[in-house]
Structure 1
């Protein structure tokens, strides 16, 4: 399978990028010479990581018929000091909120995503240390 993305310069530091399912703008902050009219490239990688794993977990929660009121992923990454700057350490926190959380099954869903299904996670594993945390918030 091949994916194709077309990214076109729109002037200054702004780019328009197509995706098989939509489009987005990429730009940098004014202090970096841009106009701040788009997503930041490195942070976009973190969104891709959380989105990929989140889709896996949501699919598994559905299959396992798990009751979850709220689910979100917080991703915090540290950049290297030297150029080219890249993420060397990434912490991924899975947060589940609800009254009847089945922690064992939810952890299994997270584990399957990070160990087996999420391709973006595997890509990150090639260049960064990953710290995975699961938090349960019973209501």
Structure 2
């Protein structure tokens, strides 16, 4: 990866497109947003793949995230609460939680920060009528 310094941040060109990063949201994504998005995106992608391998059919998956930062330490991310809301038929919460544990062990982003950022993952299943 190569980054170019711009007046209000940095820019990189990736295969999907250009990414602008800045401490000011007017000029790009803020670094903490990218960090949280990377962790959540990785966790959700791995979780979805595991559910597919387990043949757990879901109709919808949304993720709600709460981030706790420490203003006294450069606004460092200290805690991320990730709450998965899964809609589908014949959902088994115990099986879903086991799959979520497997996803956590296989998500490179979660594993990369596990000793510096507290990450809590919970889920809620919503049973759709058949």
Q: Which runs of 5+ in 2 are unaligned?
A: none
Displacement of 1:79: 0.8
Match of 2:23 in 1: 28
Q: Is 1:18 paired with 2:13?
A: yes
Displacement of 1:99: 2.8
Match of 1:106 in 2: 96
Between 1:124-133 and 1:43-52, the stretch displaced more is 124-133
When normalised by structure 2's length, the TM-score is 0.85
| CA offsets 1:34-69 (integer angstroms, 9 cap, x no match) | x61311110110100011111111111111111101
Task: Quickly say closer, same or farther: Cα 1:14–1:81, change in 2 above 3 A.
Answer: closer
When normalised by structure 1's length, the TM-score is 0.80
Task: Quickly say closer, same or farther: Cα 1:100–1:56, change in 2 above 3 A.
Answer: same
Any idea what SS the aligned residue of 1:58 has? helix
Displacement of 1:19: 4.0
C-alpha separation in 1, matches of 2:70 and 2:118: 12
Match of 2:28 in 1: 38
CA root-mean-square deviation: 1.9
Match of 2:75 in 1: 85
Matched residue count: 128
Q: Which has the higher strand share?
A: 2
Q: Which runs of 5+ in 1 are unaligned?
A: 30-34
C-alpha separation in 2, matches of 1:23 and 1:100: 41
Between 1:63-72 and 1:104-113, the stretch displaced more is 104-113
Which of residues 45, 58, 61 is equivalent to 1:55? Answer: 45
